Amino acid sequence: AYALQFHVEVRSNTVMQWGCVPEYKTALEASLGGDALAEFDQAAQANMGEMNRLARLLYNNFKKIV
């Protein structure tokens, strides 16, 4: 059995889609402040290239073992 503990499927619009869930946005802002969703989105956008590279690496390595 294999498990992942992060969102390898994140795309450029994922964070804002998550923000459409009121409970998610409320929890994020309660933990990190009023601009948390926008800041999280900006960080995701800034790191999207690296996240995509790592997702491909993970997928390709996973294919090798199955």
pLDDT tens digits, one per residue of 6-47: 788 889 999 999 999 999 999 999 999 999 999 999 999 999
- The reported pLDDT for the residue numbered 66 is 84
17: tokens are 């889609």
Report the predicted TM-score, pTM, of the whole model to 2 decimal places. 0.76
CB 1, CB 62: distance < 8 Å: no
- The reported pLDDT for the residue numbered 1 is 76
32: tokens are 């990190």
Q: What is the mean pLDDT of residues 49-65?
A: 92
Neighbours of 13 (CB within 10 A): 11
